[in-house]
Amino acid sequence: MIEFRNVSKYYKNNWLALNKVNLFFEKGQFYYLIGKSGAGKSTILKMIYMDIFPSEGEVIVGNYSSKTIKQNEIPLLRRKIGVIFQDFKLLKDRNVYDNVAFALQVTGEKYQNIRKKTLEALSLVKISHKRNSFPYQLSGGEQQKVAIARALVKEPFILIADEPTGNVDPEGTKDIMEILFDINTKGTAILMATHDYSLIKTSIGKVVGLREGKIVKPEDIFKLDLSGGKE
C-alpha cells in the first residue's frame, strides 16, 4: 500500500535527513514510528502525502509514485490520506462543525452530502455535542478530536498522526489513543509518529524505529534512549 524504496533525503547544506530507507506499510495496520526529534519521522510522514520528495529512491502510495506523480494529482492523493498534527491546525474563525465540513467543501463534495458526512465524523470522535463551539473554547484533547474528524471525513485509507498527543493532557491523550485504536479496527490504517514510548501498545501495532535517518530495531531505541536520559 505504501512503500519506501531506498529513500534518501538531503536538506539544505547537504544535511542527510533520511538514509536509504526501505519501508512497507500494509493496509489496515497500526504503525508507530518512533525515534528522537529530528530522527526523520516527519520527513517520512511528509513524503507519504507528497509534501516533500525523496532526493534519491522512490515512495509509492497506492497507485502513485513520487517519481511520476503530476502536480495536479497531488490533491487527489491527499484526499485519500488523513493527516493530524501536534498543533491541530484548526481554523480559529470557524466552529467545530465548519472546521470539519471545510475539508469536504474545498474538495468539491456535493452540498447535500456535506452535512451527513460531517455529523458522522463528529460522532465517530465523540465531539458532536461541541459542534457549535470555537477552537479556543476547547481543550487540547478536544481540538485534536476535531482535527481527527476533519481527517476522517474524507474516508481516507490511512491516517497519519504526527505527535498527536504532544499538546494534549494525560486524560485527553488516553481519549485520543482510544479513538485511534477504534478507527483502526474499522479498517483505516494508522501511522503515528511519537517520541512518547509510553503510548505504544505492541499488542496492537507494529513499531518502526528511526535514528539519524536510518531504520533501526525498536528495542535499540528503547534501550539507548531510556538509558541515555529523557526522550
Partner 1 sequence: MIYILQETFKGFFKNKSMNLITIGTITVAIFIFGLFIAGTTNLLNVIRIAEDRIEMVVYLKEDITKEKIDDLQNKISTILGVQSTQFVSKEEALKQFRNDLKEDATLLQAFETNPLPPSIKVNISMAFKTPEYLKEISDKIKIFEGVEDIDYGAEWIKELDKLVKILFFIDIFLGIIIIFASIFIVFNTIRLTVYARKEQIDIMDLVGATETYIELPYIIEGMFYGFLGSLISTFILYLLFETISKKIPNIIFMNNNAVFLFIFFGTLLGFIGSFLSVKQCINEIREMKRDDNLKRTLKKSF
Residues that bind partner 1 (CB under 8 A): 11-12, 15, 17, 37-39, 42-43, 46, 49, 51-52, 72, 74-80, 83, 89, 91-92, 102-103, 105-108, 111, 150-151, 154
Q: How far apart are CA 47 and CA 25, in angstroms?
A: 13
Shortest distance, position 171 Cβ to partner 1, whole Å: 27
Nearer to partner 1, 166 or 204 (CB): 166
Eight-class DSSP state of 71: G
First to last CA, the chain: 31
Q: How far apart are CA 64 and CA 78, in angstroms?
A: 11
Shortest distance, position 215 Cβ to partner 1, whole Å: 17
Nearer to partner 1, 3 or 87 (CB): 87
Nearer to partner 1, 80 or 126 (CB): 80
Tell me how far the alpha carbon of residue 48 is from its chain's centroid: 10
Shortest distance, position 34 Cβ to partner 1, whole Å: 15
Nearer to partner 1, 121 or 205 (CB): 121
Shortest distance, position 153 Cβ to partner 1, whole Å: 9
Please state the φ and ψ torsions of residue 173, each to the nearest 5 degrees: -60, -45
Q: How many CB atoms lie within 10 A of CB 85?
A: 18
Nearer to partner 1, 142 or 205 (CB): 142
Q: Any idea which residue has 452535512 for its cell? A: 115
If 0-12 CB within 10 Å is exposed, 13-18 middle and 19+ buried, where does residue 92 land? exposed
Shortest distance, position 203 Cβ to partner 1, whole Å: 30
